[in-house]
């Protein structure tokens, strides 16, 4: 924390201070702190809305842009969303609380293969990210393959995401995470386990095994991550029934999970409980090949993403060339498109994510 006797201020220019005084005090509701010299004022300082501004006549600086953040924009400056001060400073009135803006899905058939050397980039907290849907379907979804090569403590902070849906699936290794209102114990995700991160739930990644890999799915693709400097995790409470924007925290554990018939014959699946936990917003299943020849099918899900975790297969789709797939590959199938999983190896295992989770599948002969 900085010493309490240190402050910062933004310097803005003016040609005539008397013109700016009523704008910054009355229109913007800031408080005049200092003004000088007394006989012909040319410098004034204002404070308000978490900001300190110094306006100086003849200052050789650009007029700049001030952003006023409020969730009641109609009650500020007469409801204006954009203003210009006499000194030329632009003022934008924008939402204080980030909101989820879900773009319309731009459907496409897409395949992303690990062997095609898709680039890894360094992201938040030193994690390596690989984009599994380059087009992000028009901004409607992001699916990332994330790894931490060295493992050990993770330099993460308590934070939350403004999202419609978010999944963390542990693909390799293990990772320890604290979640808000889930008690004092660390939640360890081992390979095959997953959690949802409901909109706004505070969490912090603490420790990871060497060569940890996870699959993270977020809707929409671009969403705000906010650091919570006030909350400490764990926060000493457990409330499994709590909802965040209608979603509960779901922690699915692979060990002991029940396998049942999958929507496509020839596979069994373990349902993660995420369709119920999100009230149908999303569905996550892990499908395992059991044998036979899976038939052609089509679905009506708005977004349907699959990641190949183990084994090999050939993906055939109407109007597309066949694609041979192996671990680390991913694909998206748009609604209404006929497709078939062929040449499935005995160890084939798929991670399937669909939005909505309560979609329908048509099996063809």
Q: Please check whether residue 352 is in contact with residue 216, taking contact to mean a CB–CB distance below 8 angstroms.
A: no
Quote the pLDDT of residue 124.
Answer: 62
Give all domains of the chain, ordered by start, each with its CATH number. 10-94 (3.10.180.10), 110-246 (2.60.120.10), 260-363 (2.60.120.10)
Output the pTM of the full model.
Answer: 0.87
Quote the pLDDT of residue 70.
Answer: 95
Task: Quickly list DSSP for 308-351.
Answer: EEES-EEEEETTS--EEE-TT-EEE--TT--EEEES--TT-EEE
Quote the pLDDT of residue 118.
Answer: 65
Tell me the two tokens of residue 93.
């009135």
Quote the pLDDT of residue 71.
Answer: 93
Distance separating alpha carbons of residues 93 and 356, to the nearest angstrom: 34
Low-confidence residues in the chain, pLDDT < 50: none
Tell me the two tokens of residue 314.
């050939």
Q: Give the burial string for 188-200 (b: 16+ CB within 10 Å, else e).
A: ebebbbbbbbbbb
Quote the pLDDT of residue 3.
Answer: 59
Quote the pLDDT of residue 117.
Answer: 66
Q: Please check whether residue 308 is in contact with residue 330, taking contact to mean a CB–CB distance below 8 angstroms.
A: yes
Q: Which residues pair with 32 in a beta bridge?
A: 46
Q: Please check whether residue 136 is in contact with residue 221, taking contact to mean a CB–CB distance below 8 angstroms.
A: yes
Quote the pLDDT of residue 68.
Answer: 95
The DSSP letter of residue 295 is P
CA angle 34, 38, 44 (to 5 degrees): 30
Q: 183-195: per-residue pLDDT in tens?
A: 999 999 999 999 9
Q: Which of 33, 28, 30, 51 is nearest to 43 (CA)?
A: 33
Quote the pLDDT of residue 99.
Answer: 83
Q: 105-158: per-residue pLDDT in tens?
A: 999 999 999 888 667 787 665 678 899 999 999 999 999 999 888 889 988 899
Quote the pLDDT of residue 214.
Answer: 96
Quote the pLDDT of residue 145.
Answer: 94
Q: Are strands 349-355 and 303-310 parallel, antiparallel or unpaired?
A: antiparallel
């Amino acid at each position: 924390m900085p010493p309490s006797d240190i402050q910062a201020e933004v310097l803005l220019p003016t040609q005539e201070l008397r013109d700016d005084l009523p704008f910054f005090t009355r229109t913007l509701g800031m408080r005049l702190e200092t003004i000088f010299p007394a006989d012909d004022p040319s410098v004034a300082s204002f404070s308000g809305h978490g900001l300190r501004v110094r306006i100086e006549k003849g200052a050789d600086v650009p007029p700049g842009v001030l952003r006023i953040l409020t969730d009641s924009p109609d009650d500020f400056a007469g409801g204006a969303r954009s203003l210009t001060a006499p000194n030329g400073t632009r003022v934008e009135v924008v939402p204080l609380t980030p909101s989820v803006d879900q773009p319309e899905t731009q459907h496409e058939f897409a395949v992303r293969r690990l062997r095609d050397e898709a680039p890894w980039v360094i992201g938040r907290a030193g994690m390596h990210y690989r984009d599994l849907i380059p087009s992000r379907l028009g901004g409607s979804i992001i699916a990332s393959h994330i790894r931490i090569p060295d493992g050990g403590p993770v330099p993460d902070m308590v934070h939350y995401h403004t999202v419609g849906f978010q999944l963390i699936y542990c693909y390799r290794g293990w990772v320890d995470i604290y979640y808000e209102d889930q008690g004092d114990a660390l939640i360890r995700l081992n390979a095959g386990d997953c959690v949802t991160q409901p909109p706004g739930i505070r969490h912090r990644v603490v420790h990871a095994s060497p060569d940890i890999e996870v699959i993270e799915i977020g809707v929409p693709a671009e969403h705000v991550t906010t650091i919570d400097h006030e909350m400490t995790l764990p926060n000493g409470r457990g409330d499994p029934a709590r909802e965040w924007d209608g979603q509960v925290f779901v922690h699915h554990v692979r060990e002991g999970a029940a396998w049942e018939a999958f929507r496509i014959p020839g596979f069994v699946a373990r349902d993660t409980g995420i369709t119920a936990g999100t009230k149908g917003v999303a569905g996550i299943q892990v499908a395992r090949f059991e044998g036979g020849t899976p038939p052609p099918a089509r679905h009506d899900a708005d977004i349907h993403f699959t990641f190949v975790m183990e084994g090999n297969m050939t993906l055939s789709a109407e109007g597309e060339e066949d694609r041979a797939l192996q671990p680390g590959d991913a694909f998206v199938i748009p609604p209404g498109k006929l497709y078939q999983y062929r040449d499935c190896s005995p160890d084939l295992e798929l991670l399937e994510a669909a939005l909505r989770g309560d979609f329908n599948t048509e099996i063809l002969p």
